[in-house]
Amino acid sequence: MFYFVYVLESNFDGGWYIGFTANIKKRLAQHSEGRGGKTTRLKKGWKLIYFEGYLLKKNAAGREKFLKSGSGRKYLKKQLVNYLSENI
C-alpha cells in the first residue's frame, strides 16, 4: 500500500490545503464533493497541485506535518516556483 501527501489549491481564494491519504483519487473526490475536512468544506473548487508517495503511513504523516510548518511551506513554494509564477 502507498500513502500520499498532497497539496490542494482553492479556486476560491488560492489558499492551500495539505493532507495525506492511502487513496488519493477517493480523497480528492471527497474534497470536491464537500465531504473533506472543515477547511475544504468551507471553500469549493479544489485542484491538486502537488503530491508525494510513501510506503509507510508514519512517513507520510511526518511529511504532512513538516509541509504544514513554516519551513515546509517555504519548501513547497520553492518546489512550485514555476507553477506559482504561471498562475499569478
pLDDT in tens, 64-87: 999 999 999 999 999 898 887 776
**CA–CA dist 29, 41 (Å, integer):** 12
C-alpha cell at 9: 489549491
Q: Edge-to-edge, what's the strand order for the sheet holding 3-10?
A: 16-21, 3-10, 46-54
Confidence of residue 34 (pLDDT cuts 50, 70, 90): confident
Query: Which of the four CATH numbers 1.10.10, 3.40.30, 3.40.1440, 3.30.1600 does domain 3-86 have?
Result: 3.40.1440
**CA–CA dist 80, 26 (Å, integer):** 24
- pTM surpassing 0.85? yes
